[in-house]
Amino acid sequence: MSATAVISTNAVNSPVYNLPLLGIGYDPVLETPNLSVTTVGSSVQLVWNAVTHATAYQIWKSNSPLGPFVLFNTVQDPAFTDSATDRAFYYIKALRTFGTRLEP
């Protein structure tokens, strides 16, 4: 894939630069998963929709709906069971592999 980035400036001698770009496209934002939380016995089952292009999901957890939230786990499937015994609040962040690292 290739494209050209056009950069304009107020420089007198060269007001426009055309830069050739080579590589693959990268969509900077992944959809936010819709989370469903269900109590099953003494566990909490978290299930969310699979997000297009996501390769992993971070599970963030707090004992308050206002936070602070801490990274609790990272999983590859859109489901997780927590053996929480106390009240907890969760949110899910979709990630994708970019090179050798995961990014939102």
Number of structural domains in the chain: 1
C-alpha–C-alpha distance, residues 20 and 68, integer Å? 44
In a domain, 15, yes or no: no
In a domain, 67, yes or no: yes
Quick check: 46 and 58 in contact, CB under 8 A?
A: no
Domain containing residue 33: 28-103
In a domain, 37, yes or no: yes
Does residue 7 carry a pLDDT above 60? no
In a domain, 12, yes or no: no
Question: Residue 89 belongs to a domain with what CATH number?
Answer: 2.60.40.10
Q: How does pLDDT run across 17-63, given as a tens digit for each residue?
A: 565 656 555 556 788 898 988 888 888 899 999 999 899 999 999 88
Does residue 9 carry a pLDDT above 50? no
Q: What count of Cα atoms within 13 Å lies in the side-chain half-sphere of residue 32?
A: 4
The sign of the dihedral angle between the CA atoms of 36, 78, 98, 21 is negative
Which of 35-39, 57-61, 83-87, 98-102 is predicted with the least confidence, judged by mean pLDDT? 98-102
Does residue 83 carry a pLDDT above 60? yes
41 CA to centre of own chain: 30
Q: pTM, whole model, 2 decimals?
A: 0.70
In a domain, 94, yes or no: yes
Average pLDDT over residues 68-85: 92
